[in-house]
Structure 1
Amino acid sequence: MTAQLLIGPVLRRVDGDRATLWLETSEPASVRVEVDQAGAGSARTFSAYGHHYSIVTVDGLAPDSANAYRLYLDDRQVWPEADSEYPPSVIRTRAADDREQPVTLLFGSCREATPESSRRHLPPDALDAYSRRLMADPEARPDLLVLLGDQVYADETSAKVRKFIRRRRKAGHQGPEDQVVTFEEYTKLYLESWRDPEVRWLFATVPSVMIFDDHEVIDDWNTSASWRADMAREPWWRERISAGLASYWVYQHLGNMSPDELAADPLLQKVTAVDDATDLLHDFGLQVDEPESAENTDVPYQWSYALDLGRTRLVVLDNRCNRVLTPGARSMLPAAEWNWFLDQAHGDYDHLVIGSSLPWLMPPAIHYLEAWNEQLAESPNRRAAAFGEKVRRAFDLEHWAAFGKSFAALGELFRRLGEGELGDGKRIGAGGAYAAPASISVLSGDVHHSYVARADFGHAMTTPVFQLTCSPIHNEVPLPMRPLMKIAWTRPAAQLVRALARTLSVRKPALHWKRLAKPYFGNAIGTLRLDGQLATAEIEGTTKEGALQSVASVSYRPTT
């Protein structure tokens, strides 16, 4: 049969004179990419669970250029489509020496599928709106799209997907009737979401990296050790976690790797060497769901990654899969992965950008509530600890503040970097000593409202540290929750909950933070532009007509 292009092409990494593109086809095929002026790449598809995928590395791209490309399956052009009314998809490269070149990052999280297939009516999709604007002005394209979690919702499905799932349940496949469980069911989520025409064009022309949050697997994924124990008793859970992580590796994580990392990845080498990689991916999904424990301190698979764009370093952290959940030793990252992160945070760059699906700096009242709850759940009194665990899971109290040691360690890292670890405004990297960063920015999502906050470490510091939260891209927070979110930012609410936290000897954080704009509850997309020593962040929300309007903007640079 003739292979059809089902999803893609999705332009992922552009590194120097190379780029990677990801796609899914209906049948096995030879894939070839040709770029105008210079550049080409080819690969065979690999197969798993009856589906066919390819990640193609394009070599020989001209520096500082933006050239259209064509995609062929078995020597038949399938992209751009012959009747396409959209601008050509292009691969843009940076200058050979891009140290003085600005960097623009587009970011956000929490995107349900298109309005036609959504389970409910939602305000306009911010990614659709951005795509339409970029079509009108292609020269304004960002360097990278950073998607910070909940790219698909495995536990909140559309009517179309639920209908498909229910047919499978009647046929004997175990699991909830409104949630995906198997790899086949996961593929329907990506097909539904990534074939949105405007988003498909955007993915084809703007490089993107991604990280999961809970809804790629299930709400409150890895909240605590007792949560994991309860889920393990569900007869469908092993299939769910295996399929969730395997599909994430195929659809999202493959594109996070550079061409060199792809060439060295052991799993990709195995997957592309066999006719059917189903068993490989199924076993992989189970193996990488092993949390760190006293007996096992190895990281099963590192989902966190880092990359440099000009003088900007982006480090994207896994806030979900590799959490340490052992009571008394809770941590966002296991020790080996934290040490890797510390290595990435030191080096020769101007701006440090952290991608964290969960915000580091939350509304202060919620921060103290989570810190109180963590302490309660650690209580030696079994009844008190059980109550704390029940509250933790009922109210989703599992952000950085609920992993207090990690929250403090991240703040201490930023303080040391911002002050200059050597006492003279310097920090150590592999190549020697470097000046303190021009800025530190934490990009986050998850909480279904957008805000900008600045960290204050209690004394003058060279480097400004900002929390930039943009969520949702296409979803909404229930109306009754909005006043509570606003109140959580107020000083009286923070003082009240802090008093509660003090009853369990919760210490005040070593820093405090201030929100710089009102929380925004609509669909939104964020932009961070880094130019020389200046960082400029903007959150844009969608109007009823589907356009974008600025709802928050801030600029920051080092102090002298």
Structure 2
Amino acid sequence: MNPPNFSGSLAIPAGSGTLDGMTDIDGRLLLGPLVRYVDCDRATFWVETDRACTVAVQTRADSGETRRVEEPTWGLHGHHYALVAVEGLPADSVVDYTVSIDGDQVWPAAGRRAVVHTQRSDGPITVAFGSCRRGDTYSEEALTRIGADALVGLADRVRDQESSLWPDLLVFLGDQVYADDPSPEIVDRLHARRAAGERVAGARSEEVEDEICDFEEYTWLYQESWGDLRVRELLATVPTCMILDDHDLRDDWNSSADWRAEVTRAPWWEDRVIGAFSSYWVYQHLGNLSPQELEQDEMYAAVRAATSDAEREKLLAEFALRADSEPSSARWSYHRDIGNTRLIMIDSRCSRDLRPERRAMVDDTEWAWVREKALSADTEHVLLGSSLPFLMLPGLHNIEQWNEAVAQGAWGRRAAAVGEKLRIALDLEHWAAFGTSFADMVDLVDELVTGPRAPRSLVWLSGDVHCSYVARAETRVPTSTALYQLTMSPFRNPLDLPIRAVNRLAIRRPVARALERLARRAKVEPVHARWETEAGPWFDNGVMSLTTDSQALHLRVDHAAVADGRQTLRTTAEFDLTPSGARRR
């Protein structure tokens, strides 16, 4: 089968950062369509429009059967959104679709084709994943400064492939936007808006004059991130899962109780929280949910039933502030069953318990949910998505363990104060820095792999650390289940050279052992798990693709580059991941 002639299948040079050449796409469709949830017979489509309207999605299967679903938009802060759920689709099929606004087709453009590939009920799937993608242009200066965009490279590959070769799912593992470090173009817009007096009260603080402060400014980040033609085409074709991380709000978000105590006193904090959570709920979270979950979601029902934008804005503002101050009041975690695989996406940022005597990566309510979803999985493979790696490079794991112990008072009160400051300054806030939660995860693994439905593999998918690696793990329980940490970061935001050197040192055994001895001097108990970094670290922008075959996991590591004037992906390595180790293909 030849690859479909997608909407937007245009050859665009690497330096183009706009929708140049896409003049035949109706301007009423500001963003989208994004294909979000897809299973065997259902699909959801998210759009942002420039006005209140009725959005319709019409599908056509190979059999000729058509379905049409209409949804009125709902408004927030002068923006308009719709999430359209279509049911009754044929399984494992390429289904054509169109998007219309008030009866006029706006996607795909005339003479082009838009399709979605529904899932099969069992069998292997391919998950492409990564994290940390700065919004920016594709000018020569930007390509030199932060490199080629892995998502543009992936879009280029998908456009030329048969649908059977596409990823079944594209997973965004955090930092989809950078509210605290926007692009130069966004900073210019911020300055112009503040100079014109169009700003929330918190934006008057010099501390955040170059940062995103409210819902309107967050919309600029999403327009920049998802508006490029090639990325737009990719997201209109491949289903996506997303989870939040610190830069969605601010660097080091919820790293410690001290961090929260300081930042929550800032005059800009409430506006930032309202903008961050409200926009995340609209642009990312809703699409993570299945049609059935959407029907049961009380906030979604309230927003759709509200009679005015002001009422919706009030509902989401109250929801956002409550979600920040009472993490158990909102759940950002979710799961999807696709083929022979269960993906469990864990909110490892908002749901933390930061009490010094507890320090948990996820609170008791969230952890009970994670356990239930893992232990009830009846699939061959279980993927645990966490924006923060569960298994760090060995040396970094040991230094985070040491830091937590010191901050807890292992070396006295004065050292504890220093340890707390180091925790924030050095970003020592991964699973290793929450020892109780790390131990809980190891216990869950042991319970899962010795249970009656032990999976063939259990894999952590993570990002955040701006380097990529493959680590194989073992626990105290003998098992035939393959245990791996796969970390892919960044999509587009490379690490500074000095920090790359630190990461390279962190995998060296003498360094890791020395730091382990340091942790023992702080009375840190040994963990009941061992792991080795079997490949990496790599530091270039890239994306990983994992295929959950019954015999072995297949992993492809791609990195982005500019070649012949185009942003493309180049395969760095391919592996079969088995219980005994990663074998290069």
Superposition TM-score, scaled by structure 1 size: 0.92
> Is structure 2 residue 315 aligned with structure 1 residue 280?
yes
1:91 Cα deviation (Å)? 1.5
> Is structure 2 residue 167 aligned with structure 1 residue 142?
yes
1:409 Cα deviation (Å)? 1.1
The equivalent of 1:296 in structure 2 is none
1:119 Cα deviation (Å)? 10
1:389-538 matches, within 5 Å, as 389-418=420-449, 420-421=450-451, 426=452, 434=453, 436-457=454-475, 460-538=478-556
1:547 Cα deviation (Å)? 2.4
In 1, Cα distance between the equivalents of 2:571 and 2:467?
Answer: 15
The equivalent of 1:268 in structure 2 is 300
| Cα contact 2:483–2:579 (8 A) shared by 1 | no
In 2, Cα distance between the equivalents of 1:486 and 1:3?
Answer: 47
Bigger drift between 33-42 and 47-56 goes to 33-42
> Is structure 2 residue 117 aligned with structure 1 residue 82?
no
| Cα contact 1:452–1:552 (8 A) shared by 2 | no
Give 1:58's aligned amino acid: V
In 1, Cα distance between the equivalents of 2:419 and 2:129?
Answer: 34
The equivalent of 2:68 in structure 1 is 40
> Is structure 2 residue 157 aligned with structure 1 residue 133?
yes
| Cα contact 1:126–1:525 (8 A) shared by 2 | yes
> Is structure 2 residue 349 aligned with structure 1 residue 304?
no
1:326-405 matches, within 5 Å, as 326-347=355-376, 348-379=378-409, 381-405=412-436
| Cα contact 1:439–1:556 (8 A) shared by 2 | no
Count of residues paired in the alignment:
533
> Is structure 2 residue 94 aligned with structure 1 residue 66?
yes
1:350 Cα deviation (Å)? 0.8
User: What's the % identity of the aligned pairs?
Assistant: 43
Distance 1:48 1:119, change over 3 A: farther
1:458 Cα deviation (Å)? 5.0
SS in 2 for 1:121: helix
The equivalent of 1:219 in structure 2 is 251
Give 2:153's aligned amino acid: A
Specify which of 28, 35, 38 is matched with residue 14 of structure 1: 38
The equivalent of 2:194 in structure 1 is 169
SS in 2 for 1:115: coil
| Cα contact 1:70–1:77 (8 A) shared by 2 | yes
In 1, Cα distance between the equivalents of 2:227 and 2:457?
Answer: 36
1:291 Cα deviation (Å)? 4.2
Unaligned runs of 5+ in 2: 1-25, 581-585
Deviations 1:445-504 (A, max 9, x none): 001111000002256411110000000011100012111110011111111111211111
SS in 2 for 1:252: helix
1:50-129 matches, within 5 Å, as 50-82=78-110, 88-95=113-120, 98-99=121-122, 101-116=123-138, 121-129=145-153
In 1, Cα distance between the equivalents of 2:193 and 2:257?
Answer: 31
Distance 1:349 1:257, change over 3 A: same
1:59 Cα deviation (Å)? 2.0
Give 1:40's aligned amino acid: R
Deviations 1:507-552 (A, max 9, x none): 1211111111131100110111012242112211123323222223
1:283 Cα deviation (Å)? 1.3
In 2, Cα distance between the equivalents of 1:558 and 1:221?
Answer: 36
The equivalent of 2:347 in structure 1 is 318
In 1, Cα distance between the equivalents of 2:551 and 2:445?
Answer: 17
In 1, Cα distance between the equivalents of 2:169 and 2:148?
Answer: 22
Superposition TM-score, scaled by structure 2 size: 0.88
1:138 Cα deviation (Å)? 3.4
Give 1:257's aligned amino acid: L
Unaligned runs of 5+ in 1: 293-298, 427-433
1:329 Cα deviation (Å)? 0.4
1:290 Cα deviation (Å)? 1.6
Deviations 1:258-309 (A, max 9, x none): 00001111111110112211111111111111246xxxxxx11011001101
In 1, Cα distance between the equivalents of 2:100 and 2:86?
Answer: 13
